[in-house]
Amino acid sequence: MSEALRLLLLEDSPTDAELNERTLRRAGLEFTALRVETMAAFTAALDEFKPDLILADYHLPGFDGIAALAIAQKTAPEIPFIFVTGAMGEGRAVETIKQGAIDYILKDRLGRLPAAVQRALEEKALRAQKREDEAALRRSEASLNEAQHLAQIGSWELDLAHDRLLWSAETYRIFEIDPAAFGATYADFLDAIHPDDRDFVDHAYTSSLSDNQPYDIVHRLLLPDGRVKYVNERCNTQFDAAGQPLRSLGTVQDITKRQAAENEIKHLNRTLRTISSCNQNLVHARSEADLLQAICRDIVEVGGYILAWVAVEAPAGMNTPLAWYGNQAVHQTHAKLDNDPKHLRHCLVSAALSSRRTQVCNQLNTTPECDFSELSELGVQSILSMPLLNDGQLHGALTIFSTQPNTFDTAEVTLMEELAADLAYGLAALRMSKERDLYLRHFEQAMQSTVKVMARTLEMRDPYTAGHQQRVTALALAIAKEMALDLDPTQIEGLKFGGMIHDIGKISVPAEILSKPGKLTAIEFQLIQQHPETGHQIVADIDFPWPMAQMIVQHHERLDGSGYPAGLKGEEIMLEARILAVADVVEAMSSHRPYRASLGMEAALAEIERGSGLQYDAAVAAACLKVVRGNGMRLPE
pLDDT in tens, 105-156: 998 899 899 999 999 999 988 988 998 998 888 887 566 445 555 667 888 9
Question: E strands of 153-244, at which residues?
Answer: 153-159, 164-167, 215-222, 228-239
Span 240-253, pLDDT tens digits: 988 899 999 999 99
Residue 264 has pLDDT above 60, yes or no: yes
Span 349-396, pLDDT tens digits: 888 888 899 999 888 766 655 567 788 888 898 899 999 999 888 988
For residues 571 and 591, the answer to whether their CB atoms sit within 8 Å is: no
pLDDT number for residue 584: 92
Q: What percent of the chain has pLDDT over 70?
A: 90
Lowest mean pLDDT among 153-167, 219-233, 441-455, 469-483: 441-455
Kind of pairing between the strands at 5-10 and 53-56: parallel
Lowest mean pLDDT among 12-21, 25-34, 165-174: 165-174
Higher per-residue pLDDT: 3 or 141: 3
Span 83-117, pLDDT tens digits: 998 877 788 888 888 999 999 899 889 989 999 99
The predicted model gives 264-283 an average pLDDT of 79
Residue 184 has pLDDT above 90, yes or no: no
What does the domain layout of the chain look like in residue ranges? 5-131, 152-254, 258-456, 462-637
Q: In whole numbers, what is the pLDDT of the chain averaged over residues?
A: 85
For residues 370 and 343, the answer to whether their CB atoms sit within 8 Å is: yes
> Among 307, 338, 339, which residue's Cα sits nearest to residue 324?
307
Which is it for the CA torsion 343, 344, 348, 351, positive or negative? Answer: negative
> How far is Cα of residue 236 from the mean position of the Cα atoms in its chain?
32
The predicted model gives 263-273 an average pLDDT of 78
For residues 538 and 272, the answer to whether their CB atoms sit within 8 Å is: yes
* Residue 299 CB neighbours (<10 A): 27
Please return the burial class of 28, using the count of CB atoms within 10 Å of its CB with bins 0-12, 13-18 and 19+.
Answer: exposed
Q: How far apart are the two ends of the chain, measured CA to CA in Å?
A: 51
SS3 of residue 85 by DSSP: strand
Angle between helices 65-75 and 39-48 (to 10 degrees): 30
Higher per-residue pLDDT: 437 or 378: 378
Higher per-residue pLDDT: 604 or 183: 604
Lowest mean pLDDT among 19-28, 149-158, 534-543, 597-606: 149-158
Looking at domain 5-131, its CATH class is: alpha beta
Looking at domain 258-456, its CATH class is: alpha beta
Cα(443)–Cα(545) distance, rounded to whole angstroms?
10
Higher per-residue pLDDT: 68 or 151: 68
pLDDT number for residue 31: 93
CATH of domain 462-637: 1.10.3210.10
Span 315-351, pLDDT tens digits: 655 677 889 999 999 988 888 887 777 776 778 888 8
- Distances, alpha carbon 575 to alpha carbons 353, 390, 569, in Å: 48, 39, 12
Residue 637 has pLDDT above 80, yes or no: no
Residue 506 has pLDDT above 90, yes or no: no
Please return the burial class of 378, using the count of CB atoms within 10 Å of its CB with bins 0-12, 13-18 and 19+.
Answer: middle
The predicted model gives 600-615 an average pLDDT of 93
**Rg from Cα positions in the chain:** 37
Lowest mean pLDDT among 59-63, 247-251, 495-499: 59-63
Confidence band, pLDDT 50/70/90 cuts, at residue 404: confident
Is 152-254 CATH 3.30.450.20? yes
Confidence band, pLDDT 50/70/90 cuts, at residue 48: very high
For residues 77 and 57, the answer to whether their CB atoms sit within 8 Å is: no
Please return the burial class of 349, using the count of CB atoms within 10 Å of its CB with bins 0-12, 13-18 and 19+.
Answer: buried
> Among 549, 512, 515, which residue's Cα sits nearest to residue 534?
549
Cα(219)–Cα(196) distance, rounded to whole angstroms?
9
Residue 442 identity (one-letter amino acid): H
**Does 152-254 match 258-456 in CATH topology?**
yes
- Strand order of the β-sheet with 393-402 is 319-326, 307-313, 393-402, 382-390, 359-361
For residues 191 and 182, the answer to whether their CB atoms sit within 8 Å is: no
Lowest mean pLDDT among 131-145, 522-536, 567-581, 601-615: 131-145
* Residue 528 CB neighbours (<10 A): 13
Higher per-residue pLDDT: 139 or 7: 7
> Among 299, 296, 297, which residue's Cα sits nearest to residue 275?
299
Residue 31's φ and ψ, nearest 5 degrees, are -160, 165
